[in-house]
Chains A and B, each alone.
Chain A
């Protein structure tokens, strides 16, 4: 029973991983790519790790999977934030159909 539910979580995680990487290919500029990829890949990998926890129960690998989920949720947004800030400071422009850029106006 536990293995069936774990397999369900793993399949959900793989589907969202795939959508995230598709967004990395299709979307037009750095910020949009970063947004789609970070959200979908973080949540998808968390789903895979939770499926591993359901497979293994409270053994060594299961507890480490839970620790990995906590670590990933805390650090993935931080690295996305740092990369977006670095990209904007290195002068990467937004997509040409973007609506507004308040950060560029305030920097001057």
Chain B
């Protein structure tokens, strides 16, 4: 058994016991067999470098990331409500290009999700080789790559680098 398979087994068993919540022994025994089968078949591709899960600093940064993310979400909703309710539709859309220095796949996925749920921006495509992200922006403030990177990506990039890189 590899380490990655064991981590996947623990996660899957946790989700199984939440889904069948008042836990009794029949559900748990069936869950052990099903989770064992799934983690034996597909456990190889779950995580590439399992030693990262042992470093406690990453979890602390993750707990710092959650409230920042929720606050940005609430700001995004109020922004969209203002734009939709205004009679003149104050939008100024366009697709801009921003640069990111993150490399690993999970960090890029979380960065794209964070960009989509924060005010006024939505990720359209990723160019992984050169580290470019194409972002649809509902209110374009600048077409320059450097300036757009400072406005859109900067906040999340610092936190996500400490979590995933």
Interface residues, chain A, CB within 8 Å of chain B? 16, 19-20, 22-23, 26-29, 31-32, 34-36, 38-40, 42-43, 59-60, 63-64, 66-67, 73-74, 77-78, 80-81, 84-85, 88, 94-95, 97-104, 106
Are A36 and B140 CB-contacts (below 8 A) given A31-B122, A59-B21? Answer: no
User: With contacts defined as CB atoms under 8 Å apart, how many contacts are there between chain A and chain B in the complex?
Assistant: 123
**Nearest residue, chain A, Cβ from B148:** A102
Known: A80-B116, A81-B124. A64 touches B21 (CB 8 A): yes
Q: Is the CB of A84 within 8 A of B122?
A: yes
> Which one of A19, A74, A80, A104 contacts B122 once the chains associate, using CB atoms below 8 Å?
A80
Taking Cβ atoms with an 8 Å cutoff, the residues of B that contact A are: 15, 18-19, 21-22, 73-74, 76-77, 80-81, 83-85, 89, 91-97, 112-113, 116-117, 120, 122-125, 134, 136, 138, 140, 143
Nearest-neighbour CB distance to chain B for A55, whole angstroms, equals 16
B113 to A32, Cβ gap below 8 A? Answer: no
Considering the complex, give the chain A residue whose CB is closest to the CB of B141.
A99
Chain A CB within 10 Å, residue with most, of B73, B125, B143: B125
If A63-B21, A98-B94 are given as contacts, then 11 extra A-B residue pairs at C-beta distance below 8 Å, sorted by A number, are A27-B91, A38-B117, A38-B122, A39-B77, A43-B76, A81-B112, A81-B124, A95-B93, A99-B93, A100-B95, A102-B95
